[in-house]
A and B are shown apart, each in its own frame.
Chain A
Amino acid sequence: MEEKKPDLIDELGKLGGGDPESTRLMGVIVALAGEVFVLKAQVERLTRALEAGGTVDAQRLAAAAAQDGMTKWLEAEEAAFSRSLTAPYLDPDVSVNATRWMRAK
């Protein structure tokens, strides 16, 4: 029996190209990298602000850590951070697969 020739749209419909596990892990890595990039930007911003005249010492850091706002930030962040990292593993492709429309006449 003659082997069926591969169909381009069928092949492209396997979105992303790689194997599913790699796709999930790539998503987690990029989500983590995004967090790192944002953190780097925040550090750069803070550094520039401090260089422009502000100072931080151990006492002020300790006072900031004790603020209610800091505690609330940690509570919110622990959920948001972990979920944003694991979401691409649990749900690696959040868009519909629209490739069937590539056969529209």
Chain B
Amino acid sequence: MPNEAPLSFEATAFQCFVRGLRGVWRDEAYRGTVAAAESAGSEELPEIERRARESPAYRLYSWLERHSQQFKYYGRYGVVRWMEQRKDMLGKVLQEAAQRHPERLVLDPKLALPDYVTQVDTHQHGGGIWSDACDAFAYETSSSAYSFSLFNPRSPMAVYAEAALALAPQAKTILDLGCTSGGSTRALKRAFPGARVDGIDVAAPTLMLAHLRSLEEGLEIHWRQANAEKLPYEDGSADLVASHWLYHEMPPAAVRRSLREARRVLKKGGGFMAYDMYLVPGGAIGRWLQAGYAARNNEPFAHTYAGMDMQAELEAAGFSGVEIRVAHPEPDAKVRAGSLPDFRTHFMTMITACAA
């Protein structure tokens, strides 16, 4: 993948430094935090929080969880700082790409972005992915450099595409909701080369970047700016509606509306698939760690989504055959027995269902 704004030597070194900090967060600080939480001897999350705060390891863990992310973006050599200096050039790159196969990129300048997108600064990225080219490239750079997937041998995109093939091998019309810069959509298109694949997102800049990347790879993918709560597609028009890291960015009411929309646009018998953080292994301490992550990394709906009864929600929206399982990374025996892993990670959940 070409890099239109390669980081300078200094910016690259600085990002190594930040990754080092996050390694401490993931390993030593996390293990000390878990030990402190276990010593609380409580299943009550506020009590775990209160007791853990006495621990230097937890204070370091929570500081790193919040602030290393800010250094990554806004430190002197941070990714957003770097992209901001190249904002005009990056905007031009996206505008030029939009002129190539314009029929594949449908933007809606009148689309009102939901307040849960504009007010949250997801991942602590001010302006998130929705404001301009600089933010789209910053998102792409940082997500590829920092994803938990880096610590796992199998790409989550491969897991996603394999699950889609298993769920709906004959799919000819596929919608990928909340696609951001399109990594998940490209994975689907590679897995279903003969299908019409549409990537959908509320944010124009990341869709434009997704369009550019699909052109570079020679993939015919259609990109559409729309809200997953109100899809501009006909009833019963899709064989598969998939999403990758979407629902933990939406409040419960919005998730419910999106599920109903997914059911509406699916053909009877069509497949629904949501790959996201949902199941949280590790009992009360696992749930407490997840809540802390949601708070400190500005992913508040990771907390609310984990609290939803997705089996019941999907059935209420008109789905059957709901299956919910931890998909990635594969839980080892220790985690399957209810313990926490030895390092901090997100366990990704695959939810699949069939349009009844």
Contact = CB atoms under 8 A, between A and B. Distances in A.
B346 interface: no
B59 A38 contact: no
Nearest to A12: B295
B142 interface: no
Contacts of B77: 34, 38
Interface in A69-105: 80, 84, 88, 93-96, 98-102, 104-105
18 contacts: A6-B47, A6-B49, A7-B46, A12-B291, A12-B292, A15-B62, A16-B66, A31-B76, A34-B18, A34-B75, A38-B14, A42-B9, A94-B74, A95-B121, A96-B121, A102-B295, A104-B304, A105-B252
A6 B230 CA distance: 38
Contacts of A105: 251-253, 304
A30 B74 CA distance: 13
Contacts of B61: 17
A34 B17 contact: yes
A35 B10 CA distance: 9
Given A34-B75, A38-B10, A38-B17, A104 B301 contact: yes
A104 to B, nearest CB: 4
A48 interface: no
B16 interface: yes
B71 interface: yes
Contacts of A11: 46, 49-50
A62 B296 CA distance: 49
Interface residues of B, number: 50
A104 B50 contact: no
Given A6-B49, A17-B62, A96 B119 contact: yes
B67 A16 contact: yes
A84 B14 CA distance: 13
A102 B61 CA distance: 20
B139 interface: no
A8 B67 contact: no
Interface in B52-89: 53, 58-59, 61-63, 66-71, 74-77
Q: 6 tightest CB-CB pairs across the interface, nearest first?
A: A17-B62, A104-B251, A101-B300, A41-B13, A12-B295, A95-B124
Interface in A10-34: 11-13, 15-18, 22-23, 26-27, 30-31, 33-34
B67 A26 contact: yes
Contacts of B324: none
Contacts of B71: 30-31, 34
B303 interface: yes
A101 to B, nearest CB: 4
Contacts of A65: none
A13 B49 CA distance: 12
Contacts of B47: 6
B149 interface: no
Given A38-B13, A98-B121, A31 B75 contact: yes
A52 B220 CA distance: 47
